[in-house]
Structure 1
Amino acid sequence: MIRSSNKPKRVFQRLRDALFKVKRSVCGLIIFSFITAGSFFVCMADEFDDRIQAMQHEEEKTQETISDLEKKTQDTRAAIEMLEGQKEAAESTVNDLRLQSSTLQSKINEYTDQLTTLEGTIEETESAMSSVSAEIISLNNELDSIRAERDERYALLKNRLKTIYEKGGTRGMLELILESVSFKEVLTRSEFIRAIIDYDQHKMAECKALEEKVRDKLKKVEEREAELDAFQESLDEKYGELENLNNEVHNMLSSTNSSLSYETEKLEDFDEQLAELDATMKSLESQTAAAQAQLAKQIASRLAMQREDTSGSYAASASELEWLAATIQAEADGESYTGKLAVGSVIMNRVKSSAFPNDVVSVITQNMQFASYRSGKVELIISKGPNSTCIKAANEVLGGARVGDYLFFMTKYYADYYRISEYTMIGNHAFFYNWITKEPEETEVPAEENAEDASDNGNKKKKEEPVQKEEQEEEPADKEEASEEEEEEE
């Protein structure tokens, strides 16, 4: 009886021991599962953090590339401005030299005309001197003839007087008269002798008067000749002075034209250098646009994995409130109040996001983000003071009000142009959190199109890609250039 009562107890004991072992095993399995799962989740968290850090590192590298490109762009822009200043100075110099060259050429033409006039005057003077010289020669010849006639008359009278003297002088003449046969003959001989004497005296007086007249005329002609000589000398002197001035101006013109040629070549060099710098600037802008697009995609990819909480208020200064209200007015002045809140939400979400600067002004002035700031519109509104509606909207978003957690906005046209996959339309703006684009639709190539045409189309697509990237440069936050045009129309 005792044995039969102990047997069930042993069975129950065994069952209890077995259940305890099973329970212990199950507990061990549960504990092991928790430990394994915890380790798994820890590993997953570490892997996620490493991936986020790697993505942030890539973003930093891209940002460094952008900063380097921006520095090169600034240096290139400074070089362009310096060259443009030098070109402007060279253009001013060229204009001055051209004016100087024109003035000198006019002076040369003036001197040439004066020299031509002087040459004509000199020729006239020389012709007059030739006439005067010929007249002097003629007068001298005439004077010589008169003197010869006078000498001849004088010699004849002298011979006659000598003959009369040899024949007895007055007595001889008296004898000649007395020898006359008749009174008539006496008178005739007397008158004849008297006539001869009178004629000789008259001729002598006539020759003397003519000689005096010719001498007076010769004196005047000689004075005229002296005047012409003096005038000729003055003309020659003036001609020499003008010729020297003309040569001097010619030398100045030659020097000016040489300087003008040199400055013109400098202008051509400036144009070539500016063309090269413009090409460099376009290349840098294209590279910057591509880097900006790459950075936007990198940020979008990281944000897609790590969606941040950008809600909450922000203790803004009076200056930040003014900047925020002015930007809202610049971007959404023609939009509804909700549209204004949405633009302000994007700015404040960026302030709260780790992917962007952490203050209002830095977000608004971040390079290549808001077109309204780059154009100077924001600062113009600040100078005049934002309107009360935009100030109210700014205060609300600073206080924590949000219209979504959007980080980007642009017009619908640009959202479709850049193939943004998901966005929300508020007024005329498309708002979205991640920059995720749809794949472009493939167009079928017609069957009859040959391989060469297909290759050409491929090349065209490759050429279009950089243009799209360049346009993406301005689109991370401020694709609203089209909206600005719409606002201006309103």
Structure 2
Amino acid sequence: MKKRIQFMYENSDRSIWITLLEAGSFAEFVNRVQYIADVSAYDRNMLNTYQETQQTIASYKDTLEQQKTELLASQEELKNKENDLNQVIASRQSELEDTSDAQQESQQQADQYADQIAAMEEFERQMEEQKAAEDAANMAMIKQQEEELRQEQEAAKQRREEAKRQQQAQNEQQAQNPDNAGDTSGSDQNGDNNGGTDTQPGSGDNNGSDNTGNNTNPGTTDPGTDTDIDDNPFANVSESEVYLLACIIDCESEGEPYAGQLAVGSVVLNRVESKYFPDTITGVIYQKNQFSPVASGRLAYMLDRGPTARCMKAAREVLGGNRTVSCLYFRVNTGVISGTVIGHHVFY
């Protein structure tokens, strides 16, 4: 059709007239005119269609070109993202390798630590066996030490009770005689300054009172004031010794029942009050050849790591006065030594 349209436009006038003039009759002439009109209309429609198709194709081509441009841009962006992702993967892979190396190193350190702990525990076990054998041979001496401790504790308790009674009596006397609260002239018990000599009223006594009986001595206890005498000798222990006591309890009774942890703390405080041991918590714990975790080095590790909350509670409770045993010694219970068994320990 394209060639026919080209030929028609190039030779349209001559071919049309020749076609019309060659008609053999008027009817044929009319038919040829109608035929030429129909062919022209058809060709014109086809031409319009062709032009529209060309425009549509051009539009599609522009759209495709734009889409191609966008796809190329997206492809470039995806390529950049792929490169970035590859870099991230490489970085993560490097970090993973570093982490793996660090984990391997940590595992080696953990294995070394486990070996050290095992060696410490074996050393402590050998010490326990040796000390248990020695204690079994010296049981009579141990019982004597415990009896002396009991007597010392009882005497100390009686002294505290007597001091409290004297303080209470003094407070009651001051409450009953407020005008003479500051007069210590006739009281040998209160440590008077006149050698026990009675001083007559108005004679210039140096007991801190004027002639009206008013107390002018600022160091004298006010009438009715109750000065408490603490029954607990460990009430004012420093926090560092509380921490130390909790650590030795943790070392000696890890995994033991709470009653066993209280008993270990009680043994430490009983030793502080015994004349056969140092008179401080620190001194008792670090006394040579007494507590195996000290000798093995496990106590030092515990001081650095910190005791459990349960052992801290046990330490504070024992220091608060809840001593559950009166013994001076304890060992792992192997049946060699008789005594009070709590958990895996025997206290004696």
TM-score band by shorter chain is 0.3 to 0.5
**TM-score for the superposition, normalised by structure 1:** 0.28
